[in-house]
Amino acid sequence: MDLIIYHIKTLYTSIHQPPVKGERMREIIAIDDAFVHVKDGLIAHVSQGDYIHLITKDTKLFDATGLIMVPGFVDAHTHLVHGGSREDEFALKLQGVDYLSILKSGGGILNTVAKTREATFQDLFQQAKDSLDEMLLFGVTTLEAKSGYGLNLETEIKQLEVAKKLNESHPVEIVSTYLGAHAIPKDVDKATFLDHVINDLHEIRKRELARFVDVFCESGVFELEDAKKILLEAKKLGFIPRLHADEMTSLGGVGLGVDLAAPSVDHLMAITDEDIKRLAQSHTIANLLPATSFFLNKAYAPARKIIDSGAAVAISSDYNPGSTPSENYQFTMQISGTKLSMTPSEILTSATINPAFLLGLDRRIGSIEVGKDADLVLLKAKNLDYLIYHYGINHTAYVFKKGKMVVKKRQIFYEEA
């Protein structure tokens, strides 16, 4: 397969070695009148102007006049696979009842746990596939998907098996995370539940169902000591640790993440200045989820301070039925401008190479460079600033995954595997 995408209005990509930290996050390259030559799914040439000499009798040509190109977006934090939805709690939320109070009274995550336990494999598969199609339409070509709505081995495995089957049959590449410690089920005390989670790590490992282990480290959910216990055991078994840290309260999850060399700590709405310094001295990425702050009406993570201190930032959707019921990754990018005061080039770095690094995939994806997978998004936008400024809409025109067109004229365009 040989393809040349030519007359690209402007091509934008980071070419830095990740993690891209601090002011380097603003340094991206922009090539006007660019072309990309794709061979067997990989990027073979990226350049400007004349491409005619590369054409052979087998070359397909794609005219990208008027469109800009960026690398496929990498959404490194989602709760993709879950049963049902939670609009039944929306009225409570609108009356001002807090996210954690809803959880304490047996709703919230536990509401979705009940729905996910009831759902068949096929129900979960169909629901997640529909969401995945939406995400692809917004230009996401790789994502991370967590379990965490089973809170028992059987249902956690069911969720992870759904993610595995989707990864095999859908163009979006999926990396899985075991989030057994997402909430404490109603009928179990915490100590017993922690033993279960730790025990279940072995089975998840044996079945090779997840690369990462995550813990919701939050007061009243899993305390720092609980998170440490789970993640130390996970690391011993060969999992890579990650954390939901400082979402509502700062419990020290950032320090734990740095000490365990976690590739990311996620949320950070309540991060302290001390912890920002620790992040800046590490390779752990601050994975920020501004759409969650937006939907929960909470403070936004101090992205400016984090970047200006020299740390690396990624942004992710956190797509889930409770705190972020939206697959719109471009919205996440856009409010990273308006609400996190990040610049469009910082946002591009945070949506591509840095999340690729935290997922351990940066040698293959995350930038438009020779030898990498041809995961490419063509956007109907005048320039990169316009993509962030003109918010709330989908700018995607075409998406290529490993060189294959999977979104065409804004419509899903792939054959089911």
Interface with ligand NIG by CB under 6 A: which residues? 79, 108-109, 112, 216, 244, 247, 292, 318, 320-323
Q: Which does 216 bind (CB under 5 to 8 A by kind): ligand NIG, Fe ion, none?
A: ligand NIG
CA atoms within a 13 Å half-sphere pointing along the CA-CB vector of 238: 10
Q: Any idea which residue has 């939901």 for tokens?
A: 244
**Closest approach of ligand NIG to the CB of residue 327, in Å:** 15
**Closest approach of ligand NIG to the CB of residue 270, in Å:** 13
- 200 in contact with Fe ion (CB under 5 A): no
DSSP 84: S
* Short-list 221, 301, 219, 293, CA closest to 264: 301
Residue nearer to Fe ion on the CB measure, 242 or 395: 242
Residue nearer to ligand NIG on the CB measure, 24 or 79: 79
CA angle 207/174/226 to nearest 5° reads: 60
**Closest approach of Fe ion to the CB of residue 4, in Å:** 40
Residue nearer to ligand NIG on the CB measure, 318 or 327: 318
CA atoms within a 13 Å half-sphere pointing along the CA-CB vector of 244: 28
**Closest approach of ligand NIG to the CB of residue 156, in Å:** 15
Contact 257, 227 (CB under 8 A): no
Please confirm whether the linkage preceding 18 is cis (ω < 30° from 0): no
**Closest approach of ligand NIG to the CB of residue 379, in Å:** 27
The span from the CA of 109 to the CA of 409, in Å, is 37
Q: Which does 323 bind (CB under 5 to 8 A by kind): ligand NIG, Fe ion, none?
A: ligand NIG
Q: Which does 109 bind (CB under 5 to 8 A by kind): Fe ion, ligand NIG, none?
A: ligand NIG
* Short-list 49, 74, 38, CA closest to 350: 74
Residue nearer to Fe ion on the CB measure, 1 or 224: 224
The span from the CA of 290 to the CA of 343, in Å, is 15
CA angle 272/277/278 to nearest 5° reads: 95
Closest CB to ligand NIG: residue number? 322
Please confirm whether the linkage preceding 19 is cis (ω < 30° from 0): yes
Site size for Fe ion (CB under 5 A): 1
Residue nearer to ligand NIG on the CB measure, 79 or 228: 79
Candidates 246, 318, 327, 362: give the one binding Fe ion (CB under 5 A): 318
Residue nearer to ligand NIG on the CB measure, 198 or 296: 296
**Closest approach of ligand NIG to the CB of residue 148, in Å:** 7
**Closest approach of ligand NIG to the CB of residue 108, in Å:** 5
The span from the CA of 343 to the CA of 345, in Å, is 5
CA angle 6/11/13 to nearest 5° reads: 140
Q: Which does 180 bind (CB under 5 to 8 A by kind): Fe ion, ligand NIG, none?
A: none
For binding to Fe ion (CB under 5 A), which residues are involved? 318
